[in-house]
Amino acid sequence: MAHKTIDRHIARPPHGPRQEPRDVHAGSGGIIDVDAPPKEPASGPEPRSTRVGLGTQILLGMVFGSIVGAVFGPRAEVLSPLGDVFIRLLVLAAIPLIFFNLLAGLTALSDLRTFGRLSAKIMTWFVGTDLVALSVGMGAMLVLRPGVGMELTEPVAATVGEVPSVGAVLLDMVPTNIVRTFAEGNVVQIVVVAVLLGVATLLLSGGTRERLTTAYRDLAELFRSLVGLVLKGAPLGIGALMAVTVGRYGAELLGPMTRFLGGVYAGQFLIFCGYMLLMKLFTDRPPTRFLRETGPLWATTAATTSSLASLSVGLETAEKIGLPRSIFSFTLPLGAQLNKDGTAVMLGAVLIFTAQAAGVDFSLSVFPTLLLVGLLLSEGSGGIPGGGFVIALIYVQAFDLPVEVAAIVGGIYRLVDMGNTTLNVMGDMVGTSLVAQSEAGR
């Protein structure tokens, strides 16, 4: 290889750094600097940022709020407006985010057959897990028997609603006025509108379809940014909600409802273990990683007790952990209305608890009916704080049991609903992960 040595005595420019002499080899491989000073060894990984992540901030907010509630008791309710504002802002962002995220996801699908396959898979998951959750809730109460010996002394209104028929549930999914649908925040109707518009967009061709697809994607990005902005206040808002909850309901745990609440939580924990087992067996995301990556979402569900308010955080979380937008933008909003595993555990528990308190024993032949009615009711609990409690009253009344249960369960329902909402949303996320994994190999 030819060698060319550059003169080592190069004059230093009057206003510049001294040029260090060097030898270079020229060849077909380029220029190699042989006299250049050796590179300094890598200094190792950069020190980690000391900035506290959002999940840790929310956890600290929950702990601090719980301490405030325990110390000040009912006086902590003065912080309620802070939590209410946080919930309102999440709901504000959730409605348009659901709509445009779903449109962006649907228009990214290759064809309508893919959409039909996704729908069949996720609906099978919703119905199957709801039935299992109802059975677990009933089983927990049959084992613990917390209603035996209870006295129901505070009556409520004799009529609280009626069980909807299958036809009524399906008919209520179809909106008659788009403006009213968005004004009322009816999630399932918003999903129907978005699906219809998404399918119509897929049927278009040329530049119109491309422009609409780009617009949907950009608007979805805008509202995801809005959610990120709202979440900056999550530690404060969630901390306030926890302070109010602990301050208002802490004393109730000392009464006879401890066993009922423990039974509901035990049933929900059993469903949670089933979720984690499925994640371990059928996805490439281990349970510990899944829980770590989604931590802020569970803090939000427990504090807000609203599937709708948590949905905007759920969509943001699904994006961050790498789930396909074409899947989660459809399954998560639909699940917020139709998949109620936590609520189903509670419904089964309330029904058997009330029957025990009233001295009523159900025969085995009645349980299929109990499950069917509970499944229909769990689809209509609304995704709003406290919606499941009204559904529980209707469920109890449907089997001619005393609705005085409201005077007992209602006193601690917020605590029950923390588990309900968390399991509801977790069921949506796990189901979405399983569907995404099944689609990955296609």
CA torsion sign, 185 to 191 to 196 to 199?
Answer: positive
Report DSSP letters for 60-108, one per residue. Answer: HHHHHHHHHHHHHGGGGGGGHHHHHHHHHHHHHHHHHHHHHHHHHHHTT
Q: What architecture is the 72-440 domain classified under in CATH?
A: Orthogonal Bundle (1.10)
Query: What pLDDT, on a 0 to 100 scale, did the predictor assign at position 387?
Result: 65
Distance (Å) of CA 137 to CA 133, 142, 344, 354, 363? 6, 9, 7, 13, 17
Measure the CA–CA gap between 106 and 112, rounded to whole angstroms: 9
Q: Rg of the chain over CA atoms, in angstroms?
A: 28
Measure the CA–CA gap between 388 and 133, rounded to whole angstroms: 14
Measure the CA–CA gap between 374 and 371, rounded to whole angstroms: 5
Residue 250 neighbours by CB under 8 Å, 6+ apart: 69, 70, 73
Measure the CA–CA gap between 118 and 331, rounded to whole angstroms: 8
Q: What b/e string do you get for 307-343 counting C-beta neighbours within 10 Å, with b at 16 or more?
A: bbbbbbbbbbbbbebebbbbbbbbbbbbbbbbbbbbb
Measure the CA–CA gap between 356 and 401, rounded to whole angstroms: 10
Report DSSP letters for 120-180, one per residue. Answer: HHHHHHHHHHHHHHHHHHHHHHHHH-TTTT--------S----PPPHHHHHHHTS-S-HHH
Q: For strand 30-33 and strand 23-27, is the pairing parallel, antiparallel, or unpaired?
A: antiparallel
- pTM for the full predicted model: 0.71
Cβ 77 vs Cβ 244: under 8 Å:
yes
For residue 134, what are its two tokens? Answer: 């109802």
Measure the CA–CA gap between 57 and 51, rounded to whole angstroms: 10
| Nearest C-alpha neighbor of 271 from the set 166, 346, 199 | 346
Judged on CB neighbours under 10 Å (0-12, 13-18, 19+), 137 is buried
Token pair 């209870």: residue: 150
Query: What pLDDT, on a 0 to 100 scale, did the predictor assign at position 217?
Result: 87
| Nearest C-alpha neighbor of 395 from the set 343, 359, 357 | 343
Neighbouring CB atoms inside 10 A of 213's CB total 19
Measure the CA–CA gap between 35 and 228, rounded to whole angstroms: 52
| pLDDT tens readout for residues 216-266 | 989 988 988 888 888 888 889 888 888 887 887 665 555 557 888 899 999
Measured in whole angstroms, the distance separating CA 374 from the mean position of its chain's CA atoms is 22
Indicate the helix (H) or strand (E) that contains 26: strand 23-27
Query: What pLDDT, on a 0 to 100 scale, did the predictor assign at position 314?
Result: 93
Query: What pLDDT, on a 0 to 100 scale, did the predictor assign at position 406?
Result: 55
Average pLDDT, 10 consecutive residues per value, the chain (442 residues): 44 46 42 45 51 77 87 89 87 83 78 84 94 95 81 47 65 87 82 88 86 90 86 87 80 65 94 97 94 92 85 91 90 86 93 86 87 80 62 82 71 85 96 93 67
C-alpha torsion angle, residues 377, 383, 389, 391 (rounded to 10) = -20
Measure the CA–CA gap between 110 and 99, rounded to whole angstroms: 20
Measure the CA–CA gap between 206 and 219, rounded to whole angstroms: 21
Distance (Å) of CA 86 to CA 40, 81, 234, 298, 303? 51, 9, 7, 15, 10
Indicate the helix (H) or strand (E) that contains 223: helix 207-231
